[in-house]
Chains A and B, each alone.
Chain A
Amino acid sequence: GQNIDQPTEMTATEGAIVQINCTYQTSGFNGLFWYQQHAGEAPTFLSYNVLDGLEEKGRFSSFLSRSKGYSYLLLKELQMKDSASYLCAAMDSNYQLIWGAGTKLIIKP
C-alpha cells in the first residue's frame, strides 16, 4: 500500500533550527511536496523535490533521498509565526498526491 509517515508533533525554540522528517512508500514516484497549514486555515505550498538533494528557499529547505524514500523539511531561525502543521505529500505514478497526517510544530519563546 501507499503510506506517508511523519511525526505527529514537535516542539522547538524561537530562533533555533528544526528538522521535520517524512518517509514515504508509493506506487511510483513523481515528486515530494511540503505544505504549511496554520490552525483553521488552508494549506499553502512550501516546496517541491523530484531529484535527490537539497532545495533551499529562504529560511526553509527541503531534502529528498529517493533511494531511501525519505525527505525532510528544515526550518532555520524559527519565528513564532512558524507555529503550524507541516504536511508532507508524495506524488505517485498516477500523479495523485498521497498525504501524511501532518506534523504540528509548536514554537516556544
Chain B
Amino acid sequence: NAGVTQTPKFRVLKTGQSMTLLCAQDMNHEYMYWYRQDPGMGLRLIHYSVGEGTTAKGEVPDGYNVSRLKKQNFLLGLESAAPSQTSVYFCASSYSPERVGELFFGEGSRLTVL
C-alpha cells in the first residue's frame, strides 16, 4: 500500500521553463490537494480537487495549473517557472466529507528555480 506518491522528488529548473508534478494515491480518496511549504510559513494551499474532473483555487494559485482527469491522480503544472516558486511541494489526499481535515501527505517534491 503506497499511500500518496509524488514524482519527481527533486527538480531544478531555469526561469521560464515548464514542468509537471505528478501525485498518485491508492486509497480511493475523493479530495486531493497541492500545498507549498516555505521556511517560516505555514503550508499554503495552491489548488485542490473534491473529485475526478473538478479543481478549485486555493490561497496561492497564481502561476500554477492543475488537472484531475483520473480519481487517483492530481497533476500540478508550472507553465513558466519563476524563482519565487522555489519551494517544497506536498500533495495530500483525504476522505470526504467527515474526515476532510485528516490529510495523508506525499513525501514532497523539492523544486529549485534558478
| B-binding residues in A (CB < 8 A) | 4, 30-31, 33, 35, 41-45, 48, 87, 89, 91, 95-102
**B106–A33 touching, CB < 8 Å:** no
Instruction: Classify chain B's interface size.
Output: 10 to 19
| A-binding residues in B (CB < 8 A) | 40-45, 58, 90, 97, 100-108
Binding site secondary structure of chain A:
strand
**B90–A43 touching, CB < 8 Å:** yes
What is the chain B residue whose CB lies nearest that of A95?
A: B100
**B42–A96 touching, CB < 8 Å:** no
**A31–B42 touching, CB < 8 Å:** no
**A33–B107 touching, CB < 8 Å:** no
Given contacts A42-B106, A42-B108, A43-B90, contact A33 B43 (CB under 8 A): no
With a cutoff of 8 Å between Cβ atoms, the chain B residues found around residue A98 in the complex are: 42
A20 nearest CB across to chain B (Å): 15
With a cutoff of 8 Å between Cβ atoms, the chain A residues found around residue B102 in the complex are: 33, 45, 48
